Amino acid sequence: MLDESAQEPLAIPLAPQADRFGGNDGLAFQGAAGLHPEPPRASVVGSLDGIGAIGLHDFIAQQFSMPEGMCGRAAGAVMGLINHLPNRRAIERLDIGEQDDVLEIGFGPGWALKKMARLAHGGTITGVDRSPTMVRQAQIRNRAAIQDGKLKLIHGTFERLPVESASMDKILAVNVIYFCSPTGTALAEAHRVLRPGGTMSIYATDCSSMKRLQFVGPETRQTFDPKGLEDFLGRSAFASDQIDIQVIWLPFGFRGLVARLCKR
């Protein structure tokens, strides 16, 4: 069901601020104090050589889909900033409990993992991402939680999650659905690992805003408007479950979609 009650633009400041989850994660990008960059693993020349072959917009889209090398680390920093508000809204819709076992699909630089670990402090947090560059960034950012055995990061694919069936209470997926197979394989996997009564929260930027960004490239398999997302989810493994979609507004008039899927 589509909820358009949040269609009025929100009075949100451009620069991310500390939120109710605690900490000031979103502020780290202003001064780069919390970024902890990795040592260079690839030359800038080598990374930029590919731009001429595929075009700038396609190159950027490719880096957001599969961040690699020095440009991938920069893409991770940008993703952390762009996803700050979408992460916040999508996490709110999960209603994470203290004892919940939580999975994030496509965790990127690991900011949402850090926030969710504070909420589910008696449960476990697992992250799956297909980019080794993002795994390394998230490892650095969440070192303490990993050492405590609270957080586990896995390099893997969304279409074949390396997670046991019915092992998760909540699943988060922010800005990753565009890169998943249109056949719904990734959603079928998410449905498999989610426990009955569990919840999945999916954020996608509306296709009208995606066009303004001009970052749609060959890696982007599909984009969505509210009706398109509703139809796609209605054909997925969650078809018989409760599906609710909210429209949210972001700075500069960008529109986002947050879907909440509750497994029966």
69-82 and 56-65 helices cross at what angle (nearest 10)? 80
Q: Rounded to an integer, what distance in angstroms lies between the CA atom of residue 73 and that of residue 57? A: 17
Alpha-carbon gap, residue 166 to 5, rounded angstroms: 33
The tens digit of pLDDT for each residue in 233-257 reads 999 999 999 999 999 998 888 899 9
DSSP 3-state assignment of 114?
helix
CA–CA dist 205, 254 (Å, integer): 8
33-52 pLDDT per residue, tens: 333 333 333 333 333 344 44
- Give the bridge partners for 14, in sequence order: none
- Please report, as a single letter, which amino acid is at residue 35: L
- Contact (Cβ atoms closer than 8 angstroms) between residue 88 and residue 256: no
Tell me the C-alpha distance between 47 and 156, whole Å. Answer: 23
pLDDT digits (tens, 9 = 90+) for 7-33: 333 333 333 333 333 333 332 222 233
Strand 168-174 with 194-205, pairing:
parallel
Triad 102, 104, 110: Cα angle to 5°:
115
Query: Is 185 a residue whose pLDDT tops 60?
Result: yes
Strand partners, 255: 249
This prediction has a pTM of 0.72
State the chain's mean pLDDT as an integer: 77
